[in-house]
Amino acid sequence: MSRTVVLATRNPGKIREIAAVLGALGISVIGLDDWPDVPEPAENGATFGENARHKARYYANATGLWCLADDSGLVVDALDGAPGVFSARYASDRCEPAANREILDKANNAKLLEALADIPEEKRIARFVCHLALADGDKILLEAKGAIEGQIGFEEMGANGFGYDPLFFVPEKGCTTAQMSPETKNDISHRGKAVRQLAEQLGKMPPGTQTN
């Protein structure tokens, strides 16, 4: 397969993770930095799937390319599923409107730790969830989902990854996802699982749809 797909994000971490998988299929993955004037769509869906489909259609039409949109988030049982679909902007009320991703990530993690301050270790169960949608204009071509179970730690650990990775502890690995190598994380992560599922589906698409 030979195709350029735009990933509906300006997050370099997400671009690296997804490109590492789809690159093996001959797919070139680019982010939204080539379209700086395209405004972000409102993400007001009630589920990860609704948001992913909306973003995929929006950016596919804006760029004229196939668009792969990822809506991912952290679901914490003790917080009744929060931050959920609001994961990326969980603490946006604590930041300046123009705050960069690093500042937002720090604020999100701090707010999460505060929300779980009185929750014991055995009840800090959580999972990362990812929903992917691939669109060609208004048409959704493929969808895929992935999840990884873990628990929220009491302090940030690790310098790899992004977002809630420094707090997301995976018991089977004995470390947070921010302490894992990119390769290990991709092997077990919610996004890695979803992208591999999507890649498998892409490989089964009719030949006429696989090239520009």
Per-residue pLDDT reduced to its tens digit, 71-127: 999 999 999 999 999 999 999 999 998 898 899 999 999 999 999 999 999 999 999
Instruction: Calculate what percentage of the chain has a pLDDT beyond 90.
Output: 74
- Whole-model pTM: value is 0.86
Q: Is the model's pLDDT at 49 over the cut of 80? A: yes
pLDDT of residue 209: 58
Given the residues 70, 71, 105, 165, select the one marked as catalytic: 71
Active site residue 71: yes
pLDDT of residue 212: 45
- Which domains does the chain possess? 3-209 (3.90.950.10)
pLDDT of residue 178: 95
Contacts 24+ apart (CB under 8 A), 202-210: 202/1, 202/22, 202/25, 202/27, 202/134, 202/142, 203/1, 203/25, 205/141, 205/142, 209/141, 210/1, 210/2, 210/3
Q: What is the average per-residue pLDDT within 132-150?
A: 97
